[in-house]
Amino acid sequence: MKSAIWLFAVVILFTECKKGSNPVEEPVPFCGVNMLPLDNSGYFSFGKYYSMCGGPNCASFYQLRNGAVYPDSMVHFTQPLVFSTIQLTAPNTLGIASTVLYSFPQEMTNHPDTTFGCPDCHDQGGYYIEYKASSTAPVQYWSIDPDTAYLSNAMREYLGRVDTVLAHL
């Protein structure tokens, strides 16, 4: 009887929506997602940067716009963000990148134009997210310290998803 209950629990576990993703697996959208609205003239940009970096690529950013994903064309983090005009064409690139948009935390939606912590204040880098819903909407941004100890579970989980997506793109 115990083994039947365990088998039932395992089946239920694997048939429910994924709440997160294993870093070695391809990321998948959450169920019951909080997706920011985005029309054909809007965009969603996300990435991670290190300003005191001496390497060839100290910023890794992507932008979702017009149903495609575009990589950055920056060596270092700059504002405004600069993106390639050539979209990524690898299979499922849009699906992978969209998981960052699909799983956007309500906490961040409620606090646009916010800096959480002290990004890159002591050479630890930072996350930067920028969102513009449409051509007439204002640009919103979030700058986040990668030291997540003081962040909510939802934000920690979200930044983990960002890292996973960045590793896959």
| pLDDT tens for each residue of 65-87 | 999 999 999 888 988 999 999 99
Establish whether the linkage from the previous residue to 105 is cis, with ω within 30° of 0. Answer: no
CATH number for the domain harbouring residue 10: 3.30.1560
Phi, psi angles (nearest 5°) of residue 32:
60, 45
Residue type for position 84: S
CA-to-CA separations, 140 to 11, 28, 33, 73, 113, in angstroms, rounded? 41, 25, 20, 21, 5
Q: Which residues form the domain of 144?
A: 2-168
- pLDDT, tens only, 81-138: 999 999 999 888 999 999 999 899 999 999 999 999 999 888 899 999 999 998 899 9
- The pTM of this model reads 0.78
For the chain, the domain total comes to: 1
Query: Crossing angle, helix 93-102 and helix 153-168, to 10 degrees?
Result: 170
